[in-house]
Chain A
Amino acid sequence: MSKFGRRVLFRSGLTIAGVMVGWIAAKGLPPLSLPNGWRSLELANAQPSKNPNQVLTLYSSRHYDSDNAIYTSFTEKTGIKINLVEADAGKLIERLKAEGSKSPADVVITVDAGNLYRMQTEGLLQPVRSKILETSIPANLREPKGNWFGLTKRARVIFYNKEKVNPDQITNYEDLANPKWRGKVAVRTSSNIYNQSLLSSMIASVGAPKTEAWVKGIASNFARQPEGNDTAQIMAVASGKADLAIANTYYYVRLAKSNKPEDQEVVKRVGVIFPNQANRGTHVNISGAGVAKNAPNRAAAIAFIEHLASRQSQEVFAKSNNEYPVLKGVALDPVLGSLGQFKEDEINAVELGRYASESVRISDRGGWR
């Protein structure tokens, strides 16, 4: 009795639940493909003129509101609409791999050379030739075969506490490993791509063993275990928790432009050192783009990257996001410009990608979290 009863009960419970699922499946779920109106970007104002039905699909790991202006101006210029998917580069790589030959992606943008290099080695990009790109972007900031192109630069510099540190004592990244700075250095974790990029540039210039020795040195100089982001490192220096920190320039510029009194105090207390001026130059990491291997719209993809390298777009990158433009002759943001001219490490960005994985192993061994 009880067994039969339970079985019947189960069946009826199942039926009810099944009907529920069916109902939801029939009524509740949104359609498989999205209608064009269902989007969040403010691209609606752009009136398609020349290519009303063309679409460019962009996979980007940049996420700055100011970039939307650049996308809109491309749509205005060409009539090509932009479909945008934003995610971290590592996840975009997985998505491109899984989508395979049917991937809708035309252009991929990342905020570092390491991931562009990985995409290239995984066969997710295709080489393109473009006179415009080859003349406007310096050779060391693009992949020689045209797999990807650097679009903006960010300098990774040393910040110091003006009250405690005489800036003449620090001229190179290498000095940060000097035992006299024990307990004085703040930097974020080595998982961060900017640190990875810095380490890769060192491996390329001075070799892995010396880089590892440097990592061990700097790790024993940490004022605290790596935590927080670049802004937090700059603030640690201002507060006196640390004397020295490594961070990208544009975070400092952002603080300098802030109207909050506490941010102004931070800026007042810290100074900037561009390291390695007497030798290889200060490390710059890049944000860049490449054409996806299976781009359905290759011509539009090239036109888009050319648009990103154009004076108009480079000015937006420089002004709104405080990055260094790759195009010569584009004015810097005034605050960024006030930090002064400096010598860049002109290593080819390909090298930064090549040593990315090794730099992580070196940090693991050297005790840099």
Chain B
Amino acid sequence: MPRILRSYIQALPLRGVLILLPLFLIILVLSIATPILLVLSSLAINASTVWQHLFDTVLAEYVINTLILVTGVGVGVSILGVTTGWLIAMCEFWGRSWLEWLLLLPLAAPAYILAYIYTDSLEYYGLLQRGLRGFFGWQSASDYWFPSIRNIWGAILILVVVLYPYVYLLARVSFLKQGAGILEASRVLGCSAWGSFWRVSLPLARPAIAAGMSLAVMEALNDYGTVQFFGVNTFSVGIYRTWFNLGDRAAAMQLAALLTLFSFIFILLEFWSRQKQSFSQNLGKFTERYQLQGWRAGGAIALCGLPVFLGFILPTGLLLQLYFTSSTNFSNHNFGELSKNSLVLAGGTAILGAAIALILAYIQRTYPQRLVIIGVRVAAMGYGIPGAVIAVGILIPLGYLDNLIDRLSQDFFGITTGLIFSGSILAIIYAYLVRFLATAFNAVESSLSQVKPHLDEAAHSLGEGNFGTIRRVHLPIVRSGVLAGIIFLFVDVLKELPATIVLRPANFETLAVRVYQYASDERLAEAALPALTILAVGIVPVLILSWKISRRF
């Protein structure tokens, strides 16, 4: 670090003022990494006796279920995201321009809401089975077979349906940017349409696909709401159980640290796979889209329509149905207030987080030293840690800091300050940044990685200054990545539960918290309206930003 710092300071013209900037950056990275390091440091403590118990009984089940879940979700989102992304980017068919943004909507749907609403509709007394029984005259559950959604396959299905947009969004942009030249060249050199997809398009889009898939996989790793409700004992369920049921925080933290290391290995693999490729990209004219007709067009519409239907339209319809048929009195719900709270948190975090992600991505690009890369990666690791664990990783240092400030101010000024940061909105936003920075960072970085050094050189040799290069070369390329990062952060914050619940100020509620309170108390009808509000609030920025992205590409 010192060597980097030195070269840095030497290069600064306004040393006196700007010397603070790198310092500020180090503090930024450290403060974001602190809760994560705190979780990791738990590995240094002596293992408690709970470990023997876990090892003898349930640990194997946790590990196996987690591996199945992660594999299922990873494969599922990749296939679904790449297929839809490619169809939308490279083909023309009826309804394409609608599906282009419709495909993003499931991003706004929290997985736990889908889990609740699908269970409610698919179980014995749900809408579907009641209809089937009425139609066929069945009397009881023993008269027919009906699959249960509450198992690991149901969990995979639901997570895939809400998480594929990560891959779709990034892969589509990547396919679009490949341009016509490189594809035409591959066709001229004898590749079939499929061949050029497998041998040219897909490898070129790999950084984007890997970035999206790693986000989806990390979200699946730390998911608690869905798997817990479905009775699937994954690692994160094990962490909660060890912590809240066995009452052993130390062992729970150690489990969380292992989970984090697991996701870190995954991040590194993804990173290295990307480092190996050194090809640059052709940003020439766009490809002529393949015109799909007849059954091909029908197939494309069905393929792109299915995830939209399952991930957004159907759950929204079911929630509406639940809302209108319930007799609950909603008059005392303060939805304006809840929506405002949710919007302020999500909007503030999204902009702040995207800015930080951009800074970190630039640092990494300019100084690709190992230390810098590791530092930046650690700062973006929070995504793989269950939210409640992150929240505790934040509670502890903030509580310590607050008590320290209070003691110091009492010693020196005789004033008690009370708790300044704990239980403040600032603490929540801090938690969101620690948790979700990876989403924005992956999106920004994958777009920045397309700005190859020779582009800078070309711009300079053509007489463009530094600011001009950033404005006219970098910005147009990075723009879509930054916007994607903002979307990801916004919807993630909107859906976030555990950290919000633990860290929030008194009398402060968000839409997600309200949904959770009702749903966890088994009152789904009451949860329907706040859940619908989340969807409604969530799709607005998703639509605006997706429109802004597609305007250029």
**Chain A contacts to B: CB under 8 angstroms:** 1-2, 5-18, 20-21, 24, 28-34, 38-43, 57, 63-65, 83-91, 94-95, 97-104, 118, 188-191, 196, 224-232, 235-236, 238-241, 251, 254, 259-260, 262-263, 265-266, 356-357, 360-361, 364-365, 369
- Contact, CB under 8 Å: A94 / B392: yes
> What are 6 A-to-B residue pairs whose CB atoms are below 8 Å?
A13-B359, A15-B21, A30-B425, A83-B506, A98-B395, A365-B57
Tell me the complex Cα distance, A245–B399, Å.
44
Among candidates A28, A94, A225, residue contacting B231 with C-beta atoms closer than 8 Å: A225
Given contacts A33-B424, A364-B58, contact A251 B522 (CB under 8 A): yes
**Chain B contacts to A: CB under 8 angstroms:** 7, 11-12, 18, 21, 24-25, 53-54, 56-58, 119, 123-125, 130, 140-142, 148, 150-151, 228-231, 233, 237, 240-241, 243-249, 325, 327, 332, 334, 337-338, 341, 344, 348, 351-352, 355-356, 358-359, 362-363, 365-367, 388, 391-392, 395-396, 398-400, 402-403, 406, 416, 418-426, 429, 453, 456-457, 460, 466-467, 469-470, 474, 498, 501-509, 513, 517, 520-523
- Contact, CB under 8 Å: B334 / A357: no
- Contact, CB under 8 Å: B325 / A189: no
- Give, as a whole number of angstroms, the nearest-CB distance from A218 to chain B: 16
Tell me the complex Cα distance, A41–B359, Å.
39
Given contacts A94-B395, A102-B402, contact A230 B241 (CB under 8 A): no
Tell me the complex Cα distance, A232–B149, Å.
13
**Listed residue (A34, A57, A231, A254) with the most chain B CB atoms within 10 angstroms of its CB:** A34
Taking CB atoms, residues of chain A closer than 8 Å to B501 are 86-88, 91
Tell me the complex Cα distance, A196–B245, Å.
8
- Contact, CB under 8 Å: A357 / B247: yes
Tell me the complex Cα distance, A336–B56, Å.
43
Taking CB atoms, residues of chain B closer than 8 Å to A229 are 229, 522
Taking CB atoms, residues of chain B closer than 8 Å to A29 are 348, 425-426, 429
Among candidates A42, A102, A262, residue contacting B419 with C-beta atoms closer than 8 Å: A102
Taking CB atoms, residues of chain B closer than 8 Å to A10 are 362-363, 365-367
- Give, as a whole number of angstroms, the nearest-CB distance from B386 to chain A: 12
Taking CB atoms, residues of chain B closer than 8 Å to A8 are 11, 466
- Name which residue of chain A comes closest to B328, CB basis: A65
- Contact, CB under 8 Å: A191 / B240: yes
- Contact, CB under 8 Å: B522 / A6: no
Taking CB atoms, residues of chain A closer than 8 Å to B245 are 190-191, 196, 356-357, 360
Given contacts A9-B366, A29-B429, A239-B125, contact A101 B456 (CB under 8 A): no
- Contact, CB under 8 Å: A224 / B422: no
- Give, as a whole number of angstroms, the nearest-CB distance from A358 to chain B: 9
Which applies to chain B's interface (DSSP): helix, strand, loop or mixed?
helix
Given contacts A9-B469, A94-B502, contact A103 B419 (CB under 8 A): yes
- Contact, CB under 8 Å: B244 / A85: no
- Name which residue of chain A comes closest to B517, CB basis: A63
- Contact, CB under 8 Å: B125 / A235: yes
Tell me the complex Cα distance, A254–B243, Å.
31
- Contact, CB under 8 Å: B423 / A104: yes
- Give, as a whole number of angstroms, the nearest-CB distance from B497 to chain A: 10
Given contacts A191-B240, A224-B148, contact A260 B325 (CB under 8 A): yes
Given contacts A16-B470, A39-B508, contact A241 B456 (CB under 8 A): no
Taking CB atoms, residues of chain A closer than 8 Å to B18 are 11, 15
Taking CB atoms, residues of chain B closer than 8 Å to A65 are 332
Taking CB atoms, residues of chain B closer than 8 Å to A365 are 56-57
- Contact, CB under 8 Å: A99 / B399: yes
Among candidates B21, B237, B388, B507, residue contacting A91 with C-beta atoms closer than 8 Å: B388
Tell me the complex Cα distance, A30–B367, Å.
34
Tell me the complex Cα distance, A240–B517, Å.
30
**Listed residue (A13, A14, A97, A224) with the most chain B CB atoms within 10 angstroms of its CB:** A13
Taking CB atoms, residues of chain B closer than 8 Å to A231 are 522
Given contacts A32-B421, A95-B423, A98-B399, 6 further A-B pairs with CB under 8 A are A12-B466, A12-B467, A13-B362, A94-B502, A98-B422, A99-B402
